[in-house]
Amino acid sequence: MLGRLANLVLFGLIGWLIADASVASQDYLPWSPVFSVAGCIFGASFGPYITLLPFKVLLNKFNGIPFSIIVAGTIGLMVGVGLAALISIPFIQLEGWKSWAIPLTILLSLGALGSALGVQRERDIRGIFPANNSNRSDSVDPTNYKSRILVDTSAIIDGRIADVSQTGFVQGSLIIPSFVLDELRHIADSSDPLRRTRGRRGLEILAKIQREGKLPITILDVELLGNVEVDSELVSMAKKMEACILTTDFNLNRVAELQGVSVLNVNELANALKPIVLPGEEISVHIVQEGRESGQGVAFLDDGTMVVVEGGRKFMDTVHSVNVTRILQTSAGRIIFAQPRNVS
């Protein structure tokens, strides 16, 4: 509302000034109110699309850029402008258009070059100004590209990140865009009981991490523009921020990796931490169901790893010793193949 009112006043004033500058005598004075009213109508109707919308888009872009990069670019711009001012001194004394065209060209060129170099050397510039708490062993710099972690909705709902954060293995700052929170809220408000439970669990997980304070959480006010998908925007933000993505989504994992974005996949971490069982080793398993092939039995280890027992169907619902024959690693996890120790 305030934006429309501001545009109404602005374009009304512009209309008045245009009419006042266009007329040559007081006989055309009535045209000024006409142009002013037309400007007010245009400003209230279309003004926000000309002034506020571009500003909002630009603000969303800046929200996805770390503050350290903005500072580095500004420092580079100031150095470039200062150098351009020194170089332009001899050209100001020239005659005609050369006295302003050449200095302006030098200013724009060195300003853009300085800003680009500042962004490129952001890490070196940041090193000149060490943080006050840099001597603390437990401090985490959220502007360090290695410690910025963009969190996907699937990883929040999964919940295991809360347990992992307690171990201290994850070092960094969890960055949660506002559109991820919006998606989580929509899931929590779903009419489907299962989705509603998952959404509320995700919100509880975030609250738990904030209470425990092991990992700092930063909420970025970033909105989705148009029909952009959440996954696409996450990958785009990660590339701009030089951050990694925390997720359990297999498709997002692959898309991010194809675009050169580092991914922390909770499922891959869980698979990597499963106990290693070697071929020839003897283990005891509880055979609980039939396998896909004839005569097979299926058991599960405590961590959920599937054990396919050849000829184990006759040992259903019993605990039996088996010898591991081979291990198959798939994208879904690890599958162990074994044979009963005593085959009658």
List, for residues 296-331, the tens digit of each pLDDT value.
Answer: 899 988 777 889 999 888 888 888 899 999 888 776
Please state, in angstroms and rounded to a whole number, the distance separating the CA atoms of residues 8 and 344. Answer: 91
What's the whole-model pTM score? 0.48
State residue 134's pLDDT score.
38
| Percent share of the chain, pLDDT over 70 | 72
Going across the sheet that includes 263-265, the strands are 217-220, 173-177, 148-151, 244-247, 263-265
More confident residue, 53 or 209: 209
State residue 4's pLDDT score.
59
pLDDT at 41 over 80: no
Q: What angle do CA 295, 301, 304 make, to 5 degrees?
A: 105
pLDDT at 143 over 50: no
Across 5-34, average pLDDT: 59
More confident residue, 118 or 65: 118
Stated as kind and residue range, the H or E segment containing 329 is: strand 318-330
The model's pLDDT over 214-273, given as tens digits with 9 standing for 90+, comes to: 778 888 887 777 677 888 888 888 888 888 898 888 888 888 888 888 888 887 777 777
